[in-house]
Amino acid sequence: MPDNLPVSAAPFFALPDHAVVALDGPDAAAFAQAQFANDVAALPSGNWQWNAWLTPKGRVIAVFALLKPAQDRVLLLLSDTDAGEFATQLQRFVFRRKLKIAVADDLRVSGAFQKPDSAESARIGIVGEELELDYGSDQQPRTVRLSPTAAPALESDLQARWFAQDLRAGFPRLPTTQREQWTPQQLSLERLHAFSVKKGCYPGQEIVARTHFLGKAKRGLALFETDATPATGDAVSDGSKPLGQIVSVLPASPSLALAVLPLEREPGSLSADGAQLREITLLDGLAR
């Protein structure tokens, strides 16, 4: 799965496992500020950030990109999440706020392995009718576009390469079985600047803040290559005892796997369901 394909070999292609939920209305930003873990109020219009929605016990329901095109419009770019179900669950907390929550079926998500034409870092770009995001780094440039026109569904190896770059940068792609299991710190979401410990109340805020200020974050993400393919939920063992769990897997040759493990552990060989794991370094550059 090479990461050095020329731009001409990687045009924009559909990301079918991504979808957009729109929050529209005068209270859109205030509602997002009250529900999500990052500081939406501090985000200038025309910018985006990584964010997360947590349970009251501080467990991550979803990690997503939050766009604020305007003060009365917030877009949530979800991956691996049923957008309709997400919007329905979020609707339960609207109460009397003035906003509408809906799946943005008019926006199609596509990606390309190239630098953006207009966007830069956290600033949203405008390309015709499309919104553009800088989703990469200097070492691994990527662009996301939200467009009313669907991009072609090209070779699946491009989508797999996209997934691989997410994992290499420490962006956890969570299947259903791994949701509501982990705190933001256990998923190392500080690497993405995806949560705040200084903003006001939001679901799970007390757990997140207590963990941060008392210094009790004892586990975080680690990235591995393996010649076999472990399953999400498999225990990671040092041969004598389980140390953690696989939370995200990309089957390939070799496969990639993200696991939640102790931040301090003795060096030594690790395995998951008999598959030997080779730890590799997480890449920086995806924080916004």
Count each helix (H run) and each strand (E run) in the chain, helices first. 4, 16
Query: H or E stretch including 17?
Result: none
* Of 33-37, 46-50, 153-157, minimum mean pLDDT range: 153-157
Share of the chain above pLDDT 90, in %: 87
Contact 265, 220 (CB under 8 A): no
Output 105 or 5, whichever has higher pLDDT: 105
How far is Cα 160 from Cα 261, in angstroms, rounded to an integer? 25
* Residue 155, pLDDT score: 65
What is the rounded average pLDDT for all residues in the chain? 93
- Name 261's Cβ contacts closer than 8 Å, sequence gap at least 6: 219, 220, 221, 222, 236, 243, 244
Say yes or no to pLDDT of 3 above 90: no
Neighbours of 11 (CB within 10 A): 14
**How does pLDDT run across 169-203, given as a tens digit for each residue?**
999 999 999 999 999 999 999 999 999 999 989 99
Q: What is the pTM of this model?
A: 0.94
For every residue of 184-228, which 3-state class applies, written as one string?
Answer: CCCCCHHHHCCCCCCCCCCCCHHHHHHHHHCCCCCEEEEEEEECC
pLDDT in tens, 66-113: 999 999 999 999 999 999 999 999 999 999 999 999 999 999 999 999
Confidence label for 127 from pLDDT (cuts 50, 70 and 90): very high
**Strand 125-127 vs strand 242-250: parallel, antiparallel, or unpaired?**
unpaired
